[in-house]
A and B are shown apart, each in its own frame.
Chain A
Amino acid sequence: MYKYDQYDQAIVDARVEEFRDQVQRRLAGEISEDQFKPLRLMNGLYLQLHAYMLRVAIPYGTLDSRQMRMLAHIARKYDKDYGHFTTRQNLQYNWIKLEDAADILADLASVEMHAIQTSGNCIRNISSDQFAGAAADEVTDPRPWAELLRQWSTFHPEFSYLPRKFKIAVIAAEEDRAAVKLHDIGLQIHRNDAGELGFRVFVGGGMGRTPMVAPVIREFLPTADFVSYMEACLRVYNRYGRRDNIYKARIKILVHEIGAEEYARQVEEEWAHVKTLGLDPPAGEFERIAAHFAPPAFEGGLSDDLDRTDPDFALWLDQNVKAHKQPGYAIVNISLKPVSGIPGDASSAQIDLMADLAERYSFDELRVTHAQNIVLPHVKKADLYTIWQQLEANGLATPNLDLISDIIACPGLDYCSLANARSIPVAQKIADRFAGLDRQRDLGELKLKISGCINACGHHHAGHIGILGVDRKGTENYQLLLGGSGAEDASLGRITGPGFDEDGVVDAIERTVEKYRELRTEGERFLDTYRRVGMDPFKEAIYG
């Protein structure tokens, strides 16, 4: 894991004092709320319906037990004893007082954490593959590149007042676990024919009210040109992205309006100039960062055998534990989606427990996933049973990874001032309806995603089944979408037809999945069946 040196620490410490100063000027009335807003947003402080929300950056979703415990401590001391893990691998506190914000940032800085650029129209926290460093299918660990981007983008003088927020994700595997094609810039590290590593550059994806899957603008970007090329991509956007209409300001609209080829041409032209400025750090800097991500000291010669006699343990193994590249090790997924729970929420006690498990059993590392779950990336198979027992005792062993109850949901009307409808109760009703694990497992991989309004924080466009809350003549109404995907086969869901009330949408989902069971062929996931047969049979089943 990356560790700060004196420079990183000094910058984060200075940020705390800067924010303290900004808050004091606001509280003293020296600056208006309008002027304060972009400053607090660049520190992850949002005003929600009932209180301030603070979003803490978890760069590329990686953290250690000390950092995880600090998150629990802050939840206990300054919030209501819980935190919410988000689709951007961050953590949010929902009940923060403005007066406490600088102290919280100081606590975070003491464990090499911050809330820098977790909102605002700047380059946001960089996200990545939650299985980085553990997955068998990666060509390299993508996180050193993500860290390089984190440093480059931190307080970038030219790109702090972009037309709109800017989200970048980096992966290094064929399987896309980070939804790169739905980011402003998605980067996929791969090898060219000469065996060198480089980036496939996707630009102009995103969700929101105009969802788009990003086109490729560069098939192979050599690693030595990485930073200067990003600089060129952002400069073209900063200069030409629309600023007349907030709904058209994301880079996806620019790329769509001028075309991916023209955007790529402008970037190449800008880059030809930018490349001469010496903005790319030397290879030695990348190597310094990469050394922090060296594989942990795995034990060799461990057995892959497991005692599966406890049926509940076996169920969890099959659903939540994934293959590790190192023999004798496994990747553990901790579901934050218990039946009747709030997707992504964890109590301080649970956060502490996960920290303890990571420290003892996973080389002190944890990951946050964009599906709002937690990962212990490097666990010895021999320890799995003990870990499972402890998770089980703390409500953290729900064996539902990637099943219909592993729902992504935005905060919705329970917290969010932009919401049209509640998301959390709908997620809970769906999880209740499909609580039977046999039924869920029979339905197989089914990614269900809920947003409380068109902003799509809950990724509904990318759900195999998506739900969108809308306001219909003053009452909460839910539209159903089918056929989206945020993975390597990225696609956008289509709306089935007229919307439903809260119970109606749960019924409609039930009819949809029953239709799928009727139509599926051997081994077909819901998404595959939908793609094969199209919308009509489902429409008929739903609206009859």
Chain B
Amino acid sequence: MVEFLRFRDDVPHEEPAVTLDAFLGQTNATAVRLESDEDARKLLPQLGQLALIEIAFPKFRDGRGYSAARILREAGYEGELRAAGDVLVDQIPLMRRCGFDSFVPEAAIDPAALERALGRYDDVYQKAADGRSPVWALRHG
């Protein structure tokens, strides 16, 4: 069972994440944590200085973080994007598509189940933040 998953090759970022308020109030932090009701767009002016953005999932039903992640990726953020909290195996493939590349699930995850979930679909129907070509592009490639 794994408690931390990371789909990046660079060195993990060590600095603790600060709250959004703290981040907006100070200029030099490089890691921030967004609660699910906080507006990801507030980070856009200072995206360049960030190496880690952690997005909270207080309940797996709370899907706001999926939009937050895409907004950050669409704005060009390339640092680590972490989903933390009530993150379940069956959600990780969707989260990956939205741009998350690291995970700190509350309950440890069975790596075999995760591997099955991640490899399940060869193709996807829509463009998202993971660069995969949707089937409409493959059909008209």
Contacts and interface: CB of A to CB of B under 8 A. Distances in A.
Nearest to B119: A14
Interface stretch (B7-15, B46-54, B59-67): B59-67
Tell me what chain A mostly uses at the interface: helix, strand, loop, or mixed. Answer: helix
Interface string A4-21: 010110110010011001
Contacts of B113: 21, 25, 30
A5 B134 CA distance: 14
B126 A279 contact: yes
A315 B60 CA distance: 55
Contact of B88 (A35, A163, A285): A35
B125 A11 contact: yes
A165 to B, nearest CB: 12
B70 interface: yes
Contacts of B66: 157-161, 238
B63 A160 contact: yes
Contacts of A160: 63, 66, 94
A161 B60 CA distance: 8
A282 B140 contact: yes
B67 A35 contact: no
Q: Considering residues A21, A39, A157, A238, which has the most beta carbons from chain B within 10 angstroms of its beta carbon?
A: A157
A158 B61 contact: no
Contacts of B134: 281
Given A18-B117, A278-B127, A281-B136, A38 B61 contact: yes
Given A5-B139, A39-B90, A277-B74, A30 B110 contact: yes
Contacts of B140: 282, 284-285, 288
Contacts of A277: 74, 127
B82 interface: no
Interface in B22-69: 39, 60-64, 66-68
A121 B64 CA distance: 13
A459 interface: no
B122 A238 contact: no
Interface in B104-141: 110, 113, 116-117, 120-128, 134-140
Contacts, number: 105
Contacts of A157: 66, 93-95, 97-98, 124, 126, 128
Contacts of A156: 125-126
A158 B65 CA distance: 9
Contacts of B64: 238-239, 243
Given A21-B116, A281-B136, A284-B140, A151 B125 contact: yes
Contacts of A140: none
Interface in A391-417: none
A288 B94 CA distance: 27
Contact of A17 (B63, B120, B122, B123): B120
Interface string B77-89: 0000000000010
A496 interface: no
A453 B2 CA distance: 44
A93 B133 CA distance: 36
A11 B121 contact: yes
Nearest to A284: B140
Contact of A7 (B95, B97, B123): B123
B139 A279 contact: no
Contacts of B138: 7
Interface in A467-524: none
Contacts of A278: 127
A235 interface: yes
Contacts of A8: 135
Contacts of A159: 63, 66
B61 to A, nearest CB: 6
Q: Considering residues B62, B95, B127, which has the most beta carbons from chain A within 10 angstroms of its beta carbon?
A: B127
Given A39-B90, A157-B94, A285-B140, A239 B67 contact: yes
A5 B136 CA distance: 11
A245 to B, nearest CB: 13
Given A121-B61, A155-B125, A161-B61, A22 B67 contact: no
Nearest to A150: B125
B139 A285 contact: yes
A209 interface: no
A78 B134 CA distance: 35
Contacts of B39: 239
Contacts of A273: 74
A86 to B, nearest CB: 24
A425 B121 CA distance: 45
A154 interface: yes
A30 B90 CA distance: 13
B121 A14 contact: yes
B106 to A, nearest CB: 11
Q: Considering residues A7, A18, A162, which has the most beta carbons from chain B within 10 angstroms of its beta carbon?
A: A7
Contacts of B68: 239
A112 to B, nearest CB: 15
B63 A162 contact: yes
B117 A279 contact: no
A102 to B, nearest CB: 14
A200 to B, nearest CB: 24
A3 B32 CA distance: 47
A22 B90 contact: yes
B20 to A, nearest CB: 15
8 tightest A-B CB contacts, nearest first: A161-B63, A157-B97, A281-B136, A7-B135, A157-B94, A285-B136, A158-B66, A151-B125
Given A155-B94, A285-B140, 19 more contacts: A10-B122, A17-B120, A18-B117, A154-B125, A155-B124, A157-B126, A158-B63, A158-B67, A159-B63, A160-B63, A160-B66, A161-B66, A235-B67, A238-B63, A238-B66, A239-B67, A239-B68, A277-B74, A279-B126
Interface of B: 39, 60-64, 66-68, 70, 74, 88, 90-91, 93-95, 97-98, 110, 113, 116-117, 120-128, 134-140
15 contacts: A5-B139, A10-B122, A18-B120, A21-B117, A38-B61, A39-B90, A151-B125, A152-B125, A156-B125, A160-B66, A227-B126, A238-B63, A239-B64, A239-B68, A243-B61
